[in-house]
Amino acid sequence: MLVPQQARAVATRERLLEAAASLLAEEGLRGTTTTAVATRAGVSQGALFKHFPSKTALLSAATQAVLASLVRDFRTGLPKKLPDALEARIAVGVRALWKVFRLPAMQGLFEVYLAARTDPELGEALEPLLSAHRENIFAEARRLFPERIARPELESALATGVDAVVYAMQGVALGLFRSDERREREHLAFFERLAMHELSVAGLTTADPAATTTAADPAVKTKTTAPDPAVMTKTTAADPAVMTKTTAADPAVKTKTTAADPAVMTKTTAADPAVMTKTDRRTGRR
């Protein structure tokens, strides 16, 4: 049990981390100064440095706290009862994960990641945190796809598939600066197809991603299954009009094709006197 002084210290540390996380989400890395964090947490900068000796230590601790909250957000985004169908579970998992990537908290973390590129100390502090976070993501994937438990040989393939989806989402999210409903739908559809493909490669599903529609629009399903009677009629040629043309059962058609019409016979044999007259005039004879 914590003594009062320890409890106060823990509470102060929590307030500092919450302040840093909220500033990262709202103001970005530029606005997350030690002064701003201390002010929002309601403590002095001296108190801040007692808990975090440097800004790097503060940022790495805030990053760890935010990553843990994002995993919780992912779980919250899943339905309480997961679908039995594997494809449906893939869809709900992808949607929940993409929601996490679109959170302001994740956008704030991206700025910390980018800063680590030119800050070796920060990069060194983040590496173990990101490795642990990757393992947490895999743990969530295993919970979402318990089929893997019965087939431990799929572990590596599942990890590769999860990495592919996560990296794709991260890359797309970095380039989004405003909300666009149409583009959001397009991105989500792409991620679902990618997940289906990767998990198919991993051996978890045999569904063909190219033939799978991720949209729940009945109109799309109708096109892919082609249950429309009009379509069936054309493809099977059950329309009497179509049958007539293809089999040439119409007497009029037979007459034309066999040239049984006397008018046709006359023209082809040149039995028309007018035709004969024209031909004889070339020789000057009637």
Domains and CATH numbers, the chain: 1-53 (1.10.10.60), 55-225 (1.10.357.10), 233-281 (no CATH)
Which residues, in sequence order, are CB contacts of 209 under 8 Å at separation 6+? 193, 196, 197, 200
- Can you tell me the distance from the alpha carbon of 196 to that of 87, in angstroms, rounded to the nearest whole number? 7
Segments of the chain with pLDDT less than 70: 1-4, 148-150, 202, 204-286
- Can you tell me the distance from the alpha carbon of 212 to that of 221, in angstroms, rounded to the nearest whole number? 9
Position 145 scores a pLDDT of: 86
Q: Dihedral angle at the C-alpha atoms of 137, 139, 141, 145, nearest 10 degrees?
A: 180
Position 198 scores a pLDDT of: 86
What are the E-state strand segments in the chain?
A: none
Q: Please, what is the Cα angle at 76 between 72 and 81, to 5 degrees?
A: 130
Q: Dihedral angle at the C-alpha atoms of 39, 40, 45, 49, nearest 10 degrees?
A: -170
The three-state secondary structure class of 106 is helix
Residue range 198-248, pLDDT digits in tens: 888 767 665 544 444 444 443 434 344 444 444 343 434 444 443 434 344
pTM given for the model = 0.68
User: What are φ and ψ of residue 51, in 5° steps?
Assistant: -90, -35
Position 73 scores a pLDDT of: 96
Position 219 scores a pLDDT of: 41
Residue range 160-186, pLDDT digits in tens: 889 999 999 999 999 888 888 899 999
Task: Please report how the helices 104-116 and 120-144 are oriented relative to each other, as an axis angle in degrees rounded to 10.
Answer: 140
- Can you tell me the distance from the alpha carbon of 65 to that of 178, in angstroms, rounded to the nearest whole number? 25
Position 64 scores a pLDDT of: 97
Alpha carbon separation from 22 to 103, 105, 230, 241 (Å, rounded)? 12, 8, 58, 71
What are the E-state strand segments in 2-130?
A: none
